[in-house]
Amino acid sequence: MGTSSNFDTGGKNILDLVKKNHHIKSLIVTAPNKSKTQYEIQPPALDYLENPNRIIADNYYLMNIDMVLKILRSGAKPERHELVAEVHFPPVIFPSKEQMNKFIVLEKVNDPHDLGMLTRSTKALGWNGIYLTNKSGDVYNSFAQIVSKSQSLTWPYIYGSSEELRKFLCDNELKLLIAEPPKQDLQAISQVFCKSDNRIFTRTEELEQHDDIIKTPLIFWNGNKSDSSELKLLSRIALLLSRELKSGKRNNEASISTENEMRVGINAPFIDVPSAGSIIMWELNRITASSKNV
Amino acid sequence: MGTSSNFDTGGKNILDLVKKNHHIKSLIVTAPNKSKTQYEIQPPALDYLENPNRIIADNYYLMNIDMVLKILRSGAKPERHELVAEVHFPPVIFPSKEQMNKFIVLEKVNDPHDLGMLTRSTKALGWNGIYLTNKSGDVYNSFAQIVSKSQSLTWPYIYGSSEELRKFLCDNELKLLIAEPPKQDLQAISQVFCKSDNRIFTRTEELEQHDDIIKTPLIFWNGNKSDSSELKLLSRIALLLSRELKSGKRNNEASISTENEMRVGINAPFIDVPSAGSIIMWELNRITASSKNV
Q: What is the pLDDT of residues B173-192, one digit of tens each?
A: 999 999 998 877 766 667 88
Tell whether A200 is covered by a domain.
yes
Same domain, B267 and B235: yes
Tell me the shortest Cα–Cα distance from A211 to chain B, in angstroms: 11
Which one has a higher pLDDT value, A40 or B263? Answer: B263
For chain B, the residues whose C-beta falls within 8 A of a C-beta of chain A are 113, 117, 120-121, 123-126, 147, 149, 151, 190, 203, 217, 266, 268-272, 274-275, 278-279, 282-283, 285-286, 289, 293-294
Q: What was the pLDDT predicted at B2?
A: 36
Tell whether A161 is covered by a domain.
yes
Buried b / exposed e across B92-121, counting CB within 10 Å, b at 16+?
eeeeeeeebbbbbbbbbbbbbbbbbbbbbb
Same domain, B161 and B18: no
Tell me the shortest Cα–Cα distance from B280 to chain A, in angstroms: 9
Chain B residues whose beta carbon lies within 8 Å of the beta carbon of residue A190: 293-294
Comparing C-alpha atoms, which of B152, B11, B144 is closest to residue B89? B152
Out of B65, B88, B111, a domain closes at B88
Q: Domain holding B278: CATH number? A: 3.40.1280.10
Q: What was the pLDDT predicted at A73?
A: 67
Pick the range with the lowest mean pLDDT from A205-219, A271-285, B206-220, B249-263: B249-263
As a whole number, mean pLDDT of residues B250-277 equals: 78
Closest residue in A to B280 (Cα) is A279
Same domain, A130 and A243: yes
Please tell me whether residue B73 adopts helix, strand or coil conformation.
Answer: coil
Tell me the CA distances in angstroms from A99 to A44, A92, A260, B76, one per residue in order.
Answer: 41, 15, 27, 48
Q: How many separate domains does chain B show? A: 2
pLDDT band at B65 (very low <50, low <70, confident <90, very high): confident
Same domain, A16 and A110: no
In sequence order, what are the residues at sequence separation of 6 or more whose Cβ sits closer than 8 angstroms to the Cβ of residue A164?
none
Instruction: Give the pLDDT confidence of A56-104 residue by residue, as tens digits.
Output: 888 888 888 888 888 776 656 777 788 888 887 777 888 999 999 999 9
CB pairs under 8 A between A and B: 85
Same domain, A125 and A149: yes
* Mean of per-residue pLDDT scores for chain B: 82
Residue B121 clears pLDDT 90, i.e. is over it: yes
Chain B residues whose beta carbon lies within 8 Å of the beta carbon of residue A124: 268-271, 275
Same domain, A203 and A261: yes
Q: What was the pLDDT predicted at A84?
A: 84
> Is B125's CB within 8 Å of A285's CB?
no
Which one has a higher pLDDT value, B35 or B97? Answer: B97
As a whole number, mean pLDDT of residues B206-210 equals: 60
Comparing C-alpha atoms, which of A114, A242, A135, A102 is closest to residue A178? A242
pLDDT band at B122 (very low <50, low <70, confident <90, very high): very high
> Is A121's CB within 8 Å of B190's CB?
no
Distance CA A202, CA A138 (A): 40
As a whole number, mean pLDDT of residues A24-40 equals: 79
Please tell me whether residue B237 adopts helix, strand or coil conformation.
Answer: strand
How many CB atoms are closer than 10 A to CB A173? Answer: 12
Q: What was the pLDDT predicted at B204?
A: 62
As a whole number, mean pLDDT of residues A189-197 equals: 82
Q: What was the pLDDT predicted at A175?
A: 93
Contact B65, B78 (CB under 8 A): yes
Q: Considering chain A, what percentage of its residues have pLDDT values greater than 70?
A: 83
Q: What was the pLDDT predicted at A241?
A: 94
Chain B residues whose beta carbon lies within 8 Å of the beta carbon of residue A213: none
Secondary structure of chain A as H, E, C letters? CCCCEEEEECHHHHHHHHHCCCCEEEEEEECCCCCCCHHHCCCCHHHHHHCHHHCCEEEEEEECHHHHHHHHCCCCCCCCCCEEEEEECCCCCCCCHHHCCEEEEEECCCCHHHHHHHHHHHHHCCCCEEEEECCCCCCCCHHHHHHCCCHHHHCCEEEECHHHHHHHHHHCCCEEEEECCCCHHHCCCCEEEECCCCEEEECCHHHHHCCCEEEECCEEEECCCCCCCCEECCCCEEEEEEHHHCCCCCCCCCCCCCCCCEEEECCCCCCCHHHHHHHHHHHHHHHHCCCCCC
Same domain, B135 and B280: yes
Q: What was the pLDDT predicted at B75?
A: 58
Tell whether B210 is covered by a domain.
yes
Pairing of strands A83-88, A262-265: unpaired
Distance CA A169, CA B186 (A): 36
Closest residue in B to A191 (Cα) is B294
Q: What was the pLDDT predicted at A1?
A: 35
Q: Domain holding A50: CATH number? A: 3.30.1330
Question: Best residue in A16, A113, A115, A192 to probe B by mutation, most B CBs within 10 Å?
Answer: A113
Domain of residue B32: give its range: 5-88
Same domain, B34 and B103: no
> Is B274's CB within 8 Å of A149's CB?
no
As a whole number, mean pLDDT of residues A150-172 equals: 89
Same domain, A104 and A215: yes
Out of B38, B54, B88, a domain closes at B88
Same domain, A169 and A101: yes
Question: Best residue in A187, A275, A291 to probe B by mutation, most B CBs within 10 Å?
Answer: A275
Greatest mean pLDDT range, A10-14, A183-187, A275-279: A275-279
Q: What was the pLDDT predicted at B179?
A: 94
Tell whether B294 is covered by a domain.
no
Contact B282, A283 (CB under 8 A): yes
CB-CB: which of B269, B279, B285 is closest to A278? B279
Residue B1 clears pLDDT 50, i.e. is over it: no
Q: What was the pLDDT predicted at A292?
A: 43
Same domain, B43 and B77: yes
Residue A134 clears pLDDT 50, i.e. is over it: yes
Comparing C-alpha atoms, which of A19, A150, A31 is closest to residue A84? A31
Greatest mean pLDDT range, A91-100, A245-254, B196-205, B222-231: A91-100
Tell me the shortest Cα–Cα distance from A246 to chain B, in angstroms: 15
Instruction: Give the pLDDT confidence of B130-157 residue by residue, as tens digits.
Output: 999 877 888 888 788 888 888 888 889 8
Helices A112-124 and A273-288, axial angle in degrees (round to 10): 20
* Mean of per-residue pLDDT scores for chain A: 82
pLDDT band at B292 (very low <50, low <70, confident <90, very high): very low
Same domain, B126 and B233: yes
CB-CB: which of B190, B269, B272 is closest to A117? B272
Residue B167 burial by Cβ neighbours in a 10 Å radius (0-12, 13-18, 19+): exposed
Out of A65, A88, A111, a domain closes at A88
